[in-house]
Amino acid sequence: MVIYDTRNWIGVLLRIRGTVLPRIALRVAFVGGLGVLASVLADRGEANLAVPPSVHTLVGVALGLLLVFRTNASYDRYWEGRRLVGAIVNNARDLARQSTSLLDASTPTLRRRQGDLVVALYAAIRRHLREERQWPELAGRLTPEEVAALGAVKCPPLLIARWLSDGFVAEARAGRLSEQRLMLLDAAISDIVDAFSGCERILRTPVPFAYAHHIKGFLTLFCFTVPMALLSSMGWFTGPASAIVAYAMFGIDEIGVEIEDPFGYDPNDLALDQIGDGIAAVVDETIAAAA
């Protein structure tokens, strides 16, 4: 995630990392080049490619509405993803707190074990959302056999959640944890799993293909013909004007593409790694304070 000062207008304007400019630069340059070519041909009298701008004016309104809806839908997915990750963070912290307080009759080793599993659960969720099958950060928290077991299942976070539940159930059966406390701890685990399932829903349900295809086709046709619509009024400025229009239209669409999956490694995706480091630090401090 790109961290920036919202009040630094110049700094935001001049920053390239995190923008969609590198991905749309070729398309923008191509449209600008078409505008320059149309201007040159018209000036030499070799061909007049100008078309009436009325069609682009009417179509541009509809295309603008489609792009706004597309961006809003993508931002809804981004913000919902952040809320779900926030719910995982809150419940992980609370689970660490509950594990230290409610397991007062258990050994420090057991509390340490449950804390490690809380950290491992988030790490497994993060890796699963990124479709990764390696967990190097868990080398000191899980045994090699447990790490191998994670690689043998389709949904590693669910297996770690079960290990957490097994630990609490074992303490309840040994008489060191009441049924009421067990229900509280299990509810926190269930909330984490629910939020994880919500993240999976976002990941596995992209914007419908027909909608994405129609917008891209509509957008490409509009931008690649806009130099002809601007030629009669812009003259030699057709190239720059066309590039500006293409930058605006292609950029809005690309922003939607960038943020519709907020769990990856793009500059504007959620800072899942830093969030995981924060969870690990808080859990370790909580467990250490109760030792």
> Model confidence over 188-209: pLDDT tens digits?
999 999 999 999 999 999 888 8
Instruction: Note whether 121 and 171 are same-domain residues.
Output: yes
Q: Is residue 220 part of a domain?
A: yes
Rounded to the nearest 10 degrees, how much is the dihedral formed by the CA atoms of 88, 282, 279, 100?
Answer: -50
Instruction: Note whether 280 and 169 are same-domain residues.
Output: yes
Q: Give the pLDDT band of residue 61 (cuts 50, 70, 90).
A: confident
Instruction: Note whether 279 and 157 are same-domain residues.
Output: yes
In 103-237, alpha helices (H) = 108-129, 144-151, 156-173, 179-204, 209-234
Query: Per-residue pLDDT for 272 more than 90?
Result: yes
For range 40-61, the mean pLDDT: 83
pLDDT at 103: 87
Q: Is residue 14 part of a domain?
A: no
What gap in Å lies between CA 142 and CA 134, rounded to an integer? 13
Instruction: Note whether 241 and 154 are same-domain residues.
Output: no
Instruction: Note whether 121 and 243 are same-domain residues.
Output: no
For range 249-271, the mean pLDDT: 91
pLDDT at 188: 93
Instruction: Note whether 127 and 155 are same-domain residues.
Output: yes
Query: Per-residue pLDDT for 242 more than 90?
Result: yes
Q: Please tell me whether the overall predicted TM-score, pTM, comes out greater than 0.75 for this model.
A: yes
Query: Per-residue pLDDT for 291 more than 70?
Result: no
In terms of Cα–Cα distance, which of 79, 92, 149 is closest to 123? 92
Q: Give the pLDDT band of residue 267 (cuts 50, 70, 90).
A: confident
Instruction: Note whether 140 and 277 are same-domain residues.
Output: yes
Tally the domains of the chain. Answer: 2
Q: Is residue 185 part of a domain?
A: yes
pLDDT at 226: 93
Q: Is residue 105 part of a domain?
A: yes
- Residue 125 domain boundaries: 82-205+271-290
Q: Is residue 221 part of a domain?
A: yes
Instruction: Note whether 197 and 226 are same-domain residues.
Output: no
Instruction: Note whether 105 and 245 are same-domain residues.
Output: no
Q: Is residue 249 part of a domain?
A: yes
Instruction: Note whether 101 and 170 are same-domain residues.
Output: yes
Q: Is residue 265 part of a domain?
A: no
3-state DSSP helix/strand/coil % of the chain, to nearest 5? 80, 0, 20
Q: Is residue 11 part of a domain?
A: no
Q: Which two tokens stand for residue 123?
A: 């790490």
Instruction: Note whether 185 and 55 are same-domain residues.
Output: no
For range 158-175, the mean pLDDT: 94
pLDDT at 17: 84
| Selected residue with higher pLDDT from 100 and 47 | 100
Instruction: Note whether 149 and 130 are same-domain residues.
Output: yes
